[in-house]
A and B are shown apart, each in its own frame.
Chain A
C-alpha cells in the first residue's frame, strides 16, 4: 500500500520533488559561479575538477594549471561564501516572518543591519580597518554591533513578555537610533565615507577561506536549529494562544528562533556587508511556488537563498566587466522584478 490515507494531502511526493529540484538548481548555480567570470571555463571540466576535490576521488579535469587555480583558489571561496551568506539570510528571513507572523519581517527588523552598520563604521573611521592586525576588525565590530542591537531590541520590546508587535516597534526604534549614531560618526569622519558606503552595499569578494570558515559555524547552527523548529514555525502561524493550546511554548520558541536567526544574520552581514532583500524575496518566492508550510520553506530557503546569492554575485562580477557591481545592488535590481513576476503569475495566496 503506497497510496496515502484518504483525506490527507498527498504532499510527500511534492516535497521530495521540490527538494530534489532545489538541490539540482543549487548545484547548477555553484557550477556557473565557478565556471563564468572574466575568464570563462568549460562547465563540464569545472564539474570534473569539483569531483576531483572530493577526498578519495581522482578525476582528470582537463583544466590547465592556471584554470585550476582560478577555480580552486579564487572562485571557490567566493562561491562558498556567497552560498553561505545567501542561505543564512534567506532562512533567517523565513524564520523571522514565521516568528513575528509578519510577511515583511527579516533579521534587519530588530536592528541587525543598523547595529552592524554602526559597528563597521566605528571600526573603519577609527582606522582599525586597514588589516594591520591579525584579523580584520571590521567584521568583528559589525558582528558585535548587530548582536548589541538585537539584545537592545529584545530588552526594550519584550520586557514582561509583551507581544510580537511591541518587539517589532522596539526594533524600529533601536534601528533608527543606531542609524542616527552611525550618521553622526560618519559626519565627523567624512573621509571614510567611501569605504563605509562600499561596505554598506555589500560584497562577497573574498581573498581566501578565512571568511567562509568564519561564517560556516553560524550557518550550520542557523540551519540545524531552524530545521528542527520548522514544525514549531507552522504552529506559530495560528497565533500564540492557539499555538500554546496545541502544545507549543510560543514565547520560548520565538526567542530561540529569533536569537538563532539574528546570530546567523549578524555573522553573514559581518563578512558581506548589508545585502538587503534576500531574506524577504527568497522565502516569499518559495511560498508562492510550493505553499506556506515551513517544512518546505526552511530547507528550500537555505538552498535557493544560497543559489540566488551565488548567481547574484556572478552577475555582479560579469555585467560591467572588468568592474564589479556591489552585490546588494544586484540582488535588488534582479530580485525585485523577478519577485513581481512570480507574484503576478502565481495563483497562490500567501499572507
Chain B
C-alpha cells in the first residue's frame, strides 16, 4: 500500500439549493505536494476547498491523512485555511489575531500556554512581522495583511494548508512574495498545499500539479503543461489565448487583435 495521502477526495460533490455545482471529484494530494485548483468563475473552486475544510455540506468523502472530519477543533489542527477575503475584526492587534490560530491546540476554552506564545513568537520572526505586533491588522497594507493571515494559519500547525486565491488584491511583487513564502514554508515544514489560483500563469509556476474544475466536474488533471492547453482554455474559460513555453511552466497570454 502506498503512503497515506495528505488529502484524499472521493466522489466529492457540492450542491446549493438543489443546484449541483460539481460532482464526482476524485483527487489525491500526496504528503508535501502542492496542487492548484483552476477553473472559470462559478465552477466551485472555493466550494471544493470548503468541503475539505468541512464548513459546507457535501456528498462523497474527504480524508486528511486518512481521517474524516468529526469535530471542528480536531480538524483545525489538521487543516489550516487562508480565505480569499479574510474578515478582519476592527481594532484587533496583529498579536491577538495570530494567536487565534492557536485555538486548535489550546482548545476554544483553554488559556494561552507558554508554548502558544512561543509558536507565535517564532512565526513573527520567520515571517518578519515583529515590527507589526502591536499594530492593528486593519492598519496594515495588503501585502503585510496577507502575511499576517498566513501567520494565523501557520499558528494552527496543521500539515495541510488551504489557500483560496491568496494573491487576490496583491500587486505583482507581493503576489510573488507570498507564493515564494508559502513554498519556502512548504519545503521547510513539510506542508501540503491545496490552493485555488485565478492567474493561470502563476498557477503553472507554483505547484506540482493542477486540477481543472469546470462544467460540474474535473475536466483535466496533471502537470500544468498538460492541463493548460489552448483547447482547454478556449473550451472552459471561453478565452482565446496564446501559450508561450517557458522552462518554469507555460505562460498564458490573451491573444488579441487590438489595433489591427
Contacts and interface: CB of A to CB of B under 8 A. Distances in A.
Most chain B C-beta atoms within 10 Å of own C-beta, residue among A241, A244, A249, A349 = A244
A238 interface: yes
Interface residues of A, number: 34
Interface in A289-310: 291-293
Given A247-B73, A349-B136, A235 B96 contact: no
Nearest to B131: A7
A180 interface: no
Contact of A7 (B89, B133, B156): B133
B18 interface: no
Given A7-B95, A7-B133, A9-B134, A247 B76 contact: yes
Contact of A246 (B74, B138, B156): B156
B5 interface: no
Contact of B72 (A9, A248, A349, A350): A248
Nearest to A287: B91
Interface stretch (A45-53, A117-125, A212-220, A226-234): A226-234
Contacts, number: 116
A241 B100 contact: no
A242 B81 contact: yes
B236 interface: no
B75 A8 contact: no
A238 B89 contact: yes
A285 B103 CA distance: 27
A351 interface: yes
A300 to B, nearest CB: 15
B90 A241 contact: no
Contacts of A240: 55
User: Chain A interface mostly helix, strand, loop or mixed?
Assistant: loop
A234 B133 CA distance: 18
B78 to A, nearest CB: 10
A160 B238 CA distance: 37
A246 B109 contact: no
Given A241-B50, A292-B90, A246 B130 contact: no
Interface string A316-351: 000000000000000000000000000000001111
B86 interface: yes
Contacts of A247: 72-77, 103-104, 107-108
Interface of B: 50, 53-55, 71-77, 79-81, 83, 86-93, 95-96, 100-101, 103-104, 107-110, 117-118, 120-121, 123-125, 129-130, 133-134, 136, 138, 152, 156
Interface of A: 4-9, 11, 228-229, 231-232, 234-235, 237-242, 244-249, 253, 287, 291-293, 348-351
What are the 3 closest A-B residue pairs judged by CB atoms, nearest first?
A7-B124, A247-B76, A9-B95
22 contacts: A5-B120, A6-B121, A6-B124, A7-B120, A7-B121, A7-B133, A8-B95, A8-B133, A9-B95, A237-B89, A238-B88, A245-B53, A245-B79, A245-B81, A247-B104, A247-B107, A248-B103, A293-B96, A349-B136, A349-B138, A350-B91, A351-B91
